[in-house]
Copies of this chain bind each other. A is one copy, B any other.
Amino acid sequence: MRRTGLLAQLIQNLCCLPGVGPKTAQRMAFQLLQRDRQNAKNLAETLLKAVNEIGFCQSCRIFTEQAVCDICQDNSRDTSSICVVESSADVWVVEQAAVFKGHYFVLHGRLSPLDGIGPDELGLAQFEQRLAHGQIKELILATNSTVEGEATAFYIAELARKHQVKAYRIAHGVPMGGELEFIDSGTLAHALNGRQQI
């Protein structure tokens, strides 16, 4: 079997996508070349642009190609209420639940000392300064209900207590061990409305 050259390289590179093995990658490569050259070109160019231009929002750390994201620029939103989530995808999920009208803070991870992920890696030093300034009145801690997600929420709740900011943990409806990204909007709306101070 001959799998050298550009086509083999393309198939190998497609395998870096989550859930894509060699067989799927091969099918993708052939479809892109056979039927979808314009789409393939668009995808390649957008991906390159995204990798080069998408960074963190200065304020909430959500993925954006702007300096400050649309949510942080939206004057109709409450700047005193901050929902803390693990990922940019989680922001979208919370937005879909449509019961939260404050701002966000995206950790891009969770505390995980064994992987070398501490408060600094999650932007929490910078976030603590904002807590100290007194503009933030409440935190809604919407990290995943995994062991690490709970530990992260607990850590941030301690920071909040230190600066006399109320901290709430989203509660009912999120199944234990579940990840926020895979929860339906109704359940999440319930979890947000049923938040408990911690």
Contacts and interface: CB of A to CB of B under 8 A. Distances in A.
A33 B1 contact: no
A87 interface: yes
B16 A39 contact: yes
Nearest to A41: B51
Contact of A51 (B18, B40, B50, B87): B40
Given A2-B92, A30-B63, 17 more contacts: A1-B92, A4-B70, A7-B64, A9-B50, A13-B43, A13-B46, A17-B28, A18-B27, A19-B24, A19-B27, A26-B89, A26-B92, A27-B181, A30-B87, A40-B51, A44-B51, A48-B48
Interface string A18-41: 110000101111111110110111
Interface residues of A, number: 57
A50 B65 contact: no
A189 to B, nearest CB: 13
A133 interface: no
A10 B48 contact: no
